[in-house]
Structure 1
Amino acid sequence: MTLASLIDLGVDVDHIRRGLDSLNVADLKLVVDDVKKCGFRSKFILVEHPEQKAHRHLHHIDAMIDAAKAITDSAKTLAKAIFLCVGKAEARVHGCDLQKVHFHEVGAVDSIADIVGVAIAIDALGVQSVSSSPVPTGTGSITIDHGRVAVPAPATAEILIGVPIAECAIESELTTPTGAAIIKTLTERFPSARPFGPSPAMVAYRVGYGAGSRDLPGQANVLRITMGELQSGTNHPGQLEADRVTLLETNIDDATGEELADVAERLFAAGALDVWQTPCVMKKGRLACVLAVLCGGSKVTAMQNLLFENTSTIGIRRQVLERTKLVRRSVTVKTDYGTARGKVVTLPNGNERFTIEDDEAKRLATAAKVTTSEIREKALLAWRSE
C-alpha cells in the first residue's frame, strides 16, 4: 500500500522496476493497476513471482540489495535500515541472535519488493522530512508461520514500541511488520518536528492513494500519502531534531525533602534526562508532591524499579511524549579566566546561541573568586569573537 501510494504520488514506476530487476530475483514482476475502494480511486500493487519457500537471513537480504546495480547507495542504505528494523524485532520476539533470524513472511519476495521499492521511491522524491498519523493496528487474531497470534502480530508490536497507536476496533490486521518498519524507519531517518500526530502546516503538492487487497467494513482500505513543502517556521532540516521520551509520574505524600533529593540523585545517576517535583494536594487534604522523571524508552524499567525501591509509591503513571530539540554541538572557549566548555544550539531561523556549561562557570568563578555572571559574560564574548 505504501509503494502503491508513492507511485500514485508520481514516482516513475519504470524507475522502480529497473531497481527491482537488478535484485536478480527470477521472474519478479511488478503489476500496477487502478482500483476503487468504497468508491475512491487508488493504485493497487501486485508482486508476481514463482512460489519460493526458502527463508532468508538478514545478511542474505543485505547482500542481495548491495549487489543491485540499478539502485542508488542512499536507497540501498534506507532499504537495509528497514530490514534491520524488522530483524531486530524478530530477534527480540524469538529470543535469538540478529544474524540468525529467519525472515519468514518478510523475507518473501513480495515483501522484499515492497521494502526495496519504497526505498527507491523515497530516494527518487528527495524526501527531507516524514510525519505520520498515529498507526492503526486493528484487532482480532491472524495465523502466521508460528500459529495463531493476536493482532498486532508480535513483530509488529515490537516495532511499534514508542510509536503512537490509533484506537481501532476493526477485526483485521491493518499494520504488518513490513508496514510498521517502513513508517518507523522513515520517521526516524527523515525527522520532523512532530513525527506522529496531525498533519503539519504545509503546502501540499501531490496526494497519492494506495489500496490494500482486502475490503474493510465501513471504510476504504486505502493509505494516503501527501507530499508538499513545510511552511516557514514549522521545521528546518538540520536545525530541529525530534525524538520520543517517556514521562513517569507518581504522587508522594510521606517522604522528607532529604529522601526525595536522594531519589532524584539516584535517578540521574541511572540515566534520567530530568527529574522534578511539583507540590500538590492529595485526597483528604494531604500535602504532597508529584515526582516526575523524564527518560528514554530503554531506561523506563530501571527508572520504575528505582522509584518502587526508594519511595513508598505503589503505582507509577507512564506516557510516551514526542519531543522537538534544537540541534546542538559542544565547543570550547578561551576566556581571561581559563578554558571552558559550552554548547551552541541552532535556532529555527538559522541563528546560533551559546551557553557555557553551568559546572564550568562555577569552576572558573570559584578559582578566580568572581561571580558566575561575570564568567558567563566573558565566555559569551569569547565565543562571539571566534
Structure 2
Amino acid sequence: MQNNDLSPNSASQGSPEGLFIDASRGVAGDMLLAALVNSGVSEDVIREPLAEILPPHRIEFVTENRRGIVGLGARVTTLENSPPHRTLPDLLKALEHPILSEGVRQKAEEVYRRLAKAEAAVHGIPEEKVHFHEVGAIDAQVDILGVLLAIESISPRQIICSSLPLGQGQVRAAHGLIPVPAPAVVELLRGAKVHAGSIGRELTTPTGAALLMSLASEQREAPEGTLLNQGWGFGQRVAPEDDPVNGVRLLRLQGASPTLGDEVLRMETVIDHISGEDLGGIVDRCLEAGALEAFLTPIQMKKSRPGHQLTVLARPGDESTLCAALHRWTGTLGIRIDSLRRSVLKRESVSIEACGETVRFKLAWYGHDLISSRPEQQDVSRLAESRNWSVDHTRQQLASAIDAYLAKSGQSRKSTFFGESQ
C-alpha cells in the first residue's frame, strides 16, 4: 500500500474528502472506473482526455440493477480486433501527451511499472521486455487512466481500501489456463491484506490490484467521517444468486484526517551475549534487510546484568524474513512481536538539478500544506565540499532551488496529491 496524501477537490468544501473502496467481493479496473462515475464524477473528466491520448474507442456507462442495487458498468469498445502486444515503453509513450497533468502521468507510470515488475518476476525476463496482453489492450488503458483522471477530479486526501479476495480455480489468459490467483496478482499483492474468498473464479485482476496498490494508503474498515455519497461499479460477469454481487462499492466521506495511517510491526528481543561492536553490525543488517527502523536500548536484566533490547520496526509483509534473520544473526531464543498503528505524513523523494549538480530532496505534506522540503544530508555535504561553501550557505542555495522546482512543476505550499495548486 502506498502512503498517499489526497486533497479535496475544492477549497470551498471545507473538510477534505476521503475515499473508502470496498473491494471485499473483488476488484477490476472497469469496476473501479464505474464506481467513481456512479459516485458523482463527471464522465467528461474521463472521455475528453482519453479521446486525445488513445486510439479510437467508445466508453459507455450502463445503469444496472443487481439484486436491488443500482450501479454502473463500464463498457469499452475499440477498433482493435487483435490488439498488439504492447511493451512498457509503448505504454509510457502514451503518457507523454500534454493533456495529462504531471501527477496523473507519474501515477500511471507507477501502475504500469508495477504490472511490468510483476510480469517480469513471473516470467523471468527484464521489465522492458514484458509484452502486455490484456493490460496492453485499449480497454485496460482506459480503465487505468480513467480511474486516475476521475480521482484527480476529486483529489481526495486519503484512499483506504478493504482486504482483497484472492479467489480460486483457474482463469484463461494469453498463455492458456493459469491458477487463481494468477501469479502476477500474487506478485502485485505482496504486503497487502488478503483473504481467500470462497468463490471459484478470479476475484482480483492484475489491473485492479495494481491500481489499489498504487493508490490506497492503507487497508482497514471505513474511516470515520461524514458520508457524502456512494458509488457501485459492477463487473461484466453477473454472479449466481448464491455468490456475492460482482461489484465494488466506493464511499466518499468528508472529514478525513490530514495525516495518513498505516500498520507496522514492532519486533523486540533482549540480548546479553553479543558485544556492542557486533550489535551495531546487526542493526545495520536489519536495515539492509528491509526494516523501517532498528535501534538498541541499554537495559538491566536479571541478576543486574547489563544487556540491550533490540527493537525492529517493519512492514507486516516482512515479518517472516526479519524474524528468521534475527534468529540466525543473534541466536536469540524468542522475539516479541506486536502490531502498531502510526500517523505519518505523505512523503515523496525527488531529484532536481541544483547548483549544477543533482540533489535529492524529501518532501512532506500535512493535508494541503507542504511543510518540509529537506535536501539529503549526504548531498548537502557533497555540494558544500565541491563548491567550498559553508553548510549554511549551501542550504540557502538549495532552498531557492527547491522553490523554483515547485513553482515550475505547478506545485505550491498548498499542494494536492496530483501536484495541482488549490
What TM-score results when the alignment is normalised by the length of structure 1? 0.69
Counterpart of 2:273, as a letter, is E
* Partner in structure 1 of residue 250 of structure 2: 225
Shift of 1:262: 7.2
> Is this contact kept in 1: 2:158–2:260, CA < 8 A?
no
Tell me whether 1:4 sits opposite 2:34 in the alignment: yes
Match of 1:200 among 223, 246, 252: 223
Higher relative contact order (CA 8 A, sep 6+): 2
Tell me whether 1:66 sits opposite 2:66 in the alignment: no
The verdict on how the C-alpha distance between 1:52 and 1:347 changes in structure 2, with shifts beyond 3 A counting, is closer
2:112 aligned counterpart, secondary structure? helix
* Partner in structure 1 of residue 130 of structure 2: 101
Between the aligned partners of 1:126 and 1:143, the Cα distance in structure 2 is: 36
The verdict on how the C-alpha distance between 1:295 and 1:257 changes in structure 2, with shifts beyond 3 A counting, is same
Q: Deviations over 1:67-122 (max 9, x none)?
A: 2x543333233222221221222222222222222122111111111001111111
> Is this contact kept in 1: 2:191–2:317, CA < 8 A?
no
Shift of 1:224: 0.6
Q: Give percent identity, aligned residues only.
A: 29
Counterpart of 1:274, as a letter, is A
* Partner in structure 1 of residue 203 of structure 2: 174
The verdict on how the C-alpha distance between 1:146 and 1:346 changes in structure 2, with shifts beyond 3 A counting, is closer
Shift of 1:167: 4.0
Match of 1:258 among 273, 276, 294: 273
Between the aligned partners of 1:46 and 1:81, the Cα distance in structure 2 is: 24
Between the aligned partners of 2:173 and 2:225, the Cα distance in structure 1 is: 40
Shift of 1:218: 2.9
Give the 5 Å matches for 1:101-250: 101-187=130-216, 191=217, 195-216=218-239, 217-231=242-256, 235-236=257-258, 240-243=259-262, 245-247=264-266
Match of 2:113 among 71, 84, 90: 84
Between the aligned partners of 1:112 and 1:346, the Cα distance in structure 2 is: 30
Give the 5 Å matches for 1:302-313: 303-304=322-323, 306-312=325-331
Between the aligned partners of 1:305 and 1:137, the Cα distance in structure 2 is: 27
Give the 5 Å matches for 1:289-304: 293-296=312-315, 303-304=322-323
> Is this contact kept in 2: 1:2–1:118, CA < 8 A?
yes
Shift of 1:4: 0.2
Q: Greater CA radius of gyration, 1 or 2?
A: 1
Shift of 1:41: 1.1
* Partner in structure 2 of residue 268 of structure 1: 283
Match of 2:104 among 75, 78, 100: 75
1:52 aligned counterpart, secondary structure? coil
Between the aligned partners of 1:96 and 1:346, the Cα distance in structure 2 is: 37
> Is this contact kept in 1: 2:294–2:310, CA < 8 A?
no
What TM-score results when the alignment is normalised by the length of structure 2? 0.64
Stretch deviating more after TM superposition (302-311 or 110-119): 302-311
Counterpart of 2:248, as a letter, is L
Between the aligned partners of 2:84 and 2:337, the Cα distance in structure 1 is: 42
Between the aligned partners of 2:322 and 2:108, the Cα distance in structure 1 is: 34
The verdict on how the C-alpha distance between 1:19 and 1:327 changes in structure 2, with shifts beyond 3 A counting, is closer
> Is this contact kept in 2: 1:263–1:307, CA < 8 A?
no
Between the aligned partners of 1:219 and 1:185, the Cα distance in structure 2 is: 26
Between the aligned partners of 1:318 and 1:146, the Cα distance in structure 2 is: 42
Between the aligned partners of 1:159 and 1:300, the Cα distance in structure 2 is: 18
Give the 5 Å matches for 1:263-342: 264-270=279-285, 271=287, 272=291, 273-274=293-294, 293-296=312-315, 303-304=322-323, 306-312=325-331, 323-325=342-344
Structure 1 stretches lacking a partner, 5+ long: 281-288, 329-344, 353-386
Count of aligned residue pairs for this structure pair = 311
